[in-house]
Amino acid sequence: MSDNGTKNETPTDKTAVVSSDESISAETEADGAVQRTPGQLDVLVQGVALFSDGYNIQIIGYMNTVLAKLYPKQMTAEVKARLSNSILIGDIFGMLLFGLCIDRFGRRVGIYLTTLFLVLGIVIATAAHGVTVEGMFWMMVIGRGVAGVGAGGEYTVCTSQAVECADSTEAMRKRRGMLVAVATNAAIISGFVASSIVSLIVIAAYKGVPHDGIWRICFGIGIILPLGIFFFRLRLMDSTQYQKHAIQHKIPYKLAIKYYWKPLLGCCSAWFLYDAVVYPFNLLAPTLVAGFSNNQTMQESIGWSALINFFALPGAFIGALLMDRIGRRQTYALGWSIVCVFGFVIGGTMYPLNSPSAFPAFVTLYGLFQTFLSVGPGDCNFLVSSESFPTPLRGHFLGFAAAIGKVGAAVGTQALSKCLVSFDDKLKGQQVVFLIGSAISVVGVLCVWFLIPNHPQTLEEEDVRFKAYLEENGYDTSQMGLKG
């Protein structure tokens, strides 16, 4: 990719690009098993794993409300932030670790290890006990951190597999943006929504009375899907793109960074800014909603925040439909621009909105704020951060960009949580939070427009271009691809 955000001028072997589909169909055996051409189901099954990640990430936002009712003295703002950030910190390690792992050892290896970490972490968090309440919270933090390593790894494993499967035939390639957006962002947001529904059902089963059983059940349910789809996912093979272009030894990091520094900067910046807004606004939704009334029940607070988070789901599908029609950068910028408008409107009218009659208007505006976060950067981050880089280093760069995003999530959650409680007037804190979110959106528009590259028509096109660049710079490409 060139420095001006357009495709590089390194010559592309057109024959190699054209023959991509044929080479994919021609592969018949690997490790003794027949390899068929991937279909849409192979793309979408990655979404089931990411659905589980969305559930496990978001469930703490609702359980914080339950835990605050159960342990009002011990559940301080610091403990609440620690519980929310623990899985994000685990995510960062998982994204970096498995980004390296899946490029070096293959996508399927990542499936084994991410599932192991995810299941182990959920078990620890669900079974959390301690001599003191503080000790129990620390065990919960550790468990969610371990689960975060697995969830972060799933980002790189699932997204890499999804984009490579979606590029396997001409018909699917025309809908690559839509398929990947549905299998990634839409799936994760569906997990967010599912976490709210499960929370409400379990709380209702306890008749709205705070109980330790509520958070244990809600945490424990997160283990079902990872185990349920584990054996099905093991039947999926490494993509033909990976088998053809993998670099498992002597990875040319210096050349790769020199060639891809600008799109890497763009992807990292866009993901950092997005997560700095979306994660705190998701996790703080119950707190923001409760700030309008001191008399809301636990179900009402979670129910309203669930409705707000639900608005992001149609946004994910709208963005998926736009992706292949108007382009990645355009969808990115459109989403950020509209988020900016809604954030300034909410921030500017926070006091007039603070009345029982205006509360539905606040929920609607807040929901639309979430919708367009999902339309633009929510959908585009996964796709652009995987399309912009070659197959042998896709996990590296995708994992790094996603990890930087989670740094943004941790920073945003910590900063906005403190901002929310730093004013004596609750509404003033909420107003400032929305204005900060809008200011970040302005930076997001500029970032994607000037740093995000145009996407390649095929993944093979980018792989051939990168290989030619390596050869021009004296790198031995004869060892690329899986041997034997």
The arithmetic mean of pLDDT across residues 165-187, rounded, is 90
128, part of any domain: yes
Could you tell me the residue range of the domain that residue 187 belongs to?
Answer: 38-472
Q: What domain count does the chain have? A: 1
24, part of any domain: no
For 30-44, 139-153, 188-202, 288-302, which range has the lowest pLDDT when averaged over its residues?
30-44
Would you state the pLDDT for residue 374?
93
8, part of any domain: no
Mean pLDDT, the chain, integer: 85
The partner residues of 29 in beta bridges, in order of sequence, read 34
30, part of any domain: no
- H-state helical runs in 327-393: 328-348, 350-353, 359-373, 379-387
477, part of any domain: no
CA dist., res. 133 & res. 218, Å (int): 19
What tens digit of pLDDT does each residue of 101-154 get?
999 988 888 888 999 999 999 999 999 998 999 999 999 999 999 999 999 999
Would you state the pLDDT for residue 126?
95
* 15 pLDDT tier (thresholds 50, 70, 90): very low
What tens digit of pLDDT does each residue of 36-67 get?
566 677 788 888 889 999 999 889 888 988 99
The partner residues of 155 in beta bridges, in order of sequence, read none
* 4 pLDDT tier (thresholds 50, 70, 90): very low
Closest to 393 (Cα-Cα) out of 252, 244, 239? 252
Would you state the pLDDT for residue 306?
78
* 473 pLDDT tier (thresholds 50, 70, 90): very high
Tokens of residue 332, six digits: 């990115």
What tens digit of pLDDT does each residue of 380-435 get?
999 999 999 999 999 999 999 999 998 898 888 888 888 887 888 878 888 888 89
- Residue 17 clears pLDDT 50, i.e. is over it: no
- Say if residues 68 and 75 touch (Cβ distance below 8 Å): yes
Would you state the pLDDT for residue 10?
46
189, part of any domain: yes
CATH number for the domain harbouring residue 290? 1.20.1250.20
15, part of any domain: no
Tokens of residue 317, six digits: 């599908």
The arithmetic mean of pLDDT across residues 62-79, rounded, is 88
Predicted TM-score of the model (pTM): 0.85
What tens digit of pLDDT does each residue of 221-264 get?
999 988 888 877 777 777 888 888 888 888 899 999 999 999 99
- H-state helical runs in 206-327: 212-221, 224-228, 230-234, 240-245, 253-283, 285-290, 298-310, 312-326
Run of H or E residues at 482 = none
* 96 pLDDT tier (thresholds 50, 70, 90): very high
What percentage of the chain has pLDDT greater than the value 90? 47
The arithmetic mean of pLDDT across residues 322-349, rounded, is 92
